[in-house]
């Protein structure tokens, strides 16, 4: 908008007409005072200012404008009588564009000047806009940078305060920060701590982890640079996400050597204790079996001998499980794999459960008249374990279904469904872990929590899969599937 200031309405009229004819929006003021008021309220691209006016003259108005920070840069074109001294014109006005036109006005000259100033004004405005946005961009970046630095500082003090060996790396895996403790175990800030020669190479592991973008968790033996003895550490590293991208990695080494030793001692104890228990129990079992055979069916003592045998078998099973557990721990669980008739094995397992638990109704569905390659006794052990658990955890509903299917891609699956107490969702993922028992029912049902752990290991070693579906109060379905490999030998997967 252009402000035309003149005390003569006819002058204003002719100027306004010329400018509006050329699409310049205009505003008018009939005196210097009125012009100043308007300038304070509104912003103008250009002011055309008559010099000779009653009251405030043009120069005084210009001088006043130069005092307003908001209006200081508005260009002014003075309308003056001919021969006005230029020096005079610049008086009181120090910055911004300025020019003059002598009266009578030549419209072409006026338009030329207005256009030039208008363009200048537009460019100026654009420059100011760009400058303002650049300034706010710079301020924003600086703020973000300050925040980042503050956060990194906080993270570093946290990593200094913890008892672990700790480090952070850039997104590409290059080490950026290590805490004091790191330097007791690593030759420099840029190299990883010294690990046992038999453990995986940390540099390569780290490269793979960074490439995968997935968290790392591994046990590794580490020693201080000035000592000989290695200790077990748990190395954990997680990527720090910013939006969808990884901005850095944070990692720690936690000393778990004492726990490892305790677990090893416990495993050793279980192994020794179960071996020591097994020998006398085998002898007891043999004698009681002899006794059972020598007693007449009508003999009143037969009942006691039978009961003793049931308990001996229970104890025997527990010890066998403990021995299996020790073998898994030490990598000595051996498999005797060869082809066998699955259906025959399954029928005999079901018969055995039916005899042992005559109150339970075991319904078999499906058909699996196949030859399976695997360790027959171990596969049977899994099925018996699933079935005895189904019996044990269904005290009020005595129906159990066992279903077998052979899929088109030649996998055999076995599913044992009961209608018993079920397993809460939160426990289902852990149910196959060592010593894991559902807390809520642990007091009601005896057990060690190792049966399913052994089953899992057996299925894994047959390259199979396993799992559970369950609804608390409605029952559970435990299943496993193993590949039916036609013909003879398959490689056993590494333990
Ligand atoms: P144990 O039965 O000796 O405790 P397992 O390893 O066989 O050990 O089972 C682990 C846990 O899984 C059990 O303690 C029990 O809480 C739960 N569980 C196993 N089978 C069933 C089932 N059929 N129904 C409900 N809970 C079960």
Say what the pLDDT of residue 86 is. 57
Q: Give me ligand 1 centre to Cα 451, in Å.
A: 8
Q: Give me ligand 1 centre to Cα 389, in Å.
A: 6
Q: Give me ligand 1 centre to Cα 449, in Å.
A: 7
Asked if 48 and 27 count as a contact pair (C-beta separation under 8 A), the reply is no
Nearest CA, atom 14, ligand 1: 437
In whole angstroms, give the CA distance from residue 429 to residue 188: 42
- Which architecture, in CATH terms, is 338-483? 2-Layer Sandwich (3.30)
Q: What is the pTM of this model?
A: 0.62
Longest dimension (CA), the chain: 148
User: Per-domain residue ranges for the chain?
Assistant: 2-128, 162-255, 260-330, 338-483
Assigned CATH for 2-128: 3.40.50.2300
> Which atom of ligand 1 is nearest to 447's Cα?
3
Homologous superfamily of the 162-255 domain (CATH)? PAS domain (3.30.450.20)
Nearest CA, atom 9, ligand 1: 449
Q: Give me ligand 1 centre to Cα 377, in Å.
A: 21
Say what the pLDDT of residue 488 is. 38
Q: Give me ligand 1 centre to Cα 460, in Å.
A: 19
- The pick from 450, 452, 454, 458 for probing ligand 1's pocket by mutation, whose C-beta has the most ligand atoms within 8 angstroms, reads 452
Say what the pLDDT of residue 89 is. 54
> Which atom of ligand 1 is nearest to 448's Cα?
3
> Which atom of ligand 1 is nearest to 416's Cα?
23
Burial 51-72 (b: 16+ CB within 10 A, else e): bebeebbbbbbbebbbeeeebe
Q: Is the peptide bond before 104 cis (omega within 30 degrees of 0)?
A: yes
- The pick from 388, 394, 421, 423 for probing ligand 1's pocket by mutation, whose C-beta has the most ligand atoms within 8 angstroms, reads 423
Number of helices followed by number of strands (H, E) in the chain: 14, 17
- The pick from 325, 360, 389 for probing ligand 1's pocket by mutation, whose C-beta has the most ligand atoms within 8 angstroms, reads 389
Say what the pLDDT of residue 140 is. 96
Please give the C-alpha separations between residue 473 and each of 183, 339, 430, in angstroms, as whole numbers. 56, 39, 19
Question: What CA dihedral angle connects 32, 38, 43 and 48, to 10 degrees?
Answer: -30
- Which architecture, in CATH terms, is 260-330? Orthogonal Bundle (1.10)
Residues lining ligand 1, CB < 6 A?
A: 389-390, 393, 418, 420-423, 431, 436-438, 441, 447-453, 476
Intervals of the chain under pLDDT 70: 82-97, 486-495
């Amino acid at each position: 908008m252009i402000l035309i200031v003149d005390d003569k309405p006819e002058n204003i009229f002719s100027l306004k007409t010329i400018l509006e004819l050329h699409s310049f929006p205009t505003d008018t003021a009939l005196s210097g005072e009125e012009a100043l008021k308007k300038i304070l309220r509104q912003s103008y691209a250009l002011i055309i200012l008559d010099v000779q006016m009653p009251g405030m003259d043009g120069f005084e108005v210009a001088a006043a404008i130069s005092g307003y920070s908001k209006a200081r840069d508005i260009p002014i074109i003075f309308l003056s009588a001919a021969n006005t001294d230029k020096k005079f014109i610049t008086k009181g006005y120090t910055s911004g564009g300025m020019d003059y036109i002598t009266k009578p006005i030549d419209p072409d000259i006026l338009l030329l000047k207005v256009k030039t100033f208008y363009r200048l004004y537009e460019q100026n405005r654009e420059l100011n806009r760009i400058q303002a946005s650049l300034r706010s961009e710079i301020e924003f970046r600086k703020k973000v940078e300050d925040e980042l630095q503050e956060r990194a500082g906080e993270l570093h003090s946290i990593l200094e305060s913890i008892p672990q060996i700790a480090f952070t790396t850039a997104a590409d895996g290059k080490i950026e920060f290590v805490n004091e403790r790191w330097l007791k175990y690593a030759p420099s800030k840029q190299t990883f701590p010294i690990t046992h020669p038999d453990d995986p190479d940390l540099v390569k592991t780290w490269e793979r982890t960074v490439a995968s973008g997935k968290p790392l968790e591994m046990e590794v033996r580490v020693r201080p640079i000035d000592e000989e003895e290695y200790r077990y550490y748990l190395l954990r590293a997680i990527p720090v996400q910013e939006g969808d991208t990884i901005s850095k990695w944070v990692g720690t080494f936690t000393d778990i050597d004492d726990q490892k030793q305790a677990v090893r001692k416990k495993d050793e104890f279980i192994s020794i204790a179960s071996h020591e228990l097994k020998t006398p129990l085998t002898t007891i079992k043999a004698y009681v079996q002899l006794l059972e055979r020598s007693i007449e069916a009508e003999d009143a003592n037969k009942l006691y001998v039978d009961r003793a045998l049931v308990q001996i078998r229970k104890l025997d099973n527990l010890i066998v499980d403990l021995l299996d557990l020790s073998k898994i721990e030490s990598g000595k669980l051996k498999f005797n794999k060869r082809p066998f008739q699955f259906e025959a094995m399954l029928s005999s397992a079901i018969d055995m459960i039916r005899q042992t638990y005559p109150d339970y109704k075991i319904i078999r569905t499906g058909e699996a008249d196949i030859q399976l390659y695997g360790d027959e006794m171990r596969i049977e052990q899994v099925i018996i374990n699933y079935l005895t658990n189904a019996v044990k955890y269904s005290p009020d509903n005595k129906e159990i279904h066992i279903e077998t299917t052979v899929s088109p891609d030649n996998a055999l699956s076995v599913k044992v469904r009961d209608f018993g107490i079920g397993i809460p969702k939160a426990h289902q993922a852990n149910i196959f872990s060592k010593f894991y028992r559902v807390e809520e029912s642990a007091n009601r049902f005896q057990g060690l929590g190792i049966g399913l752990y052994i089953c899992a290991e057996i299925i894994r070693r047959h390259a199979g899969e396993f799992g559970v579906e369950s609804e608390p109060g409605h029952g559970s379905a435990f299943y496993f599937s193993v590949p039916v490999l036609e013909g003879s030998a398959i490689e056993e997967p590494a333990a």
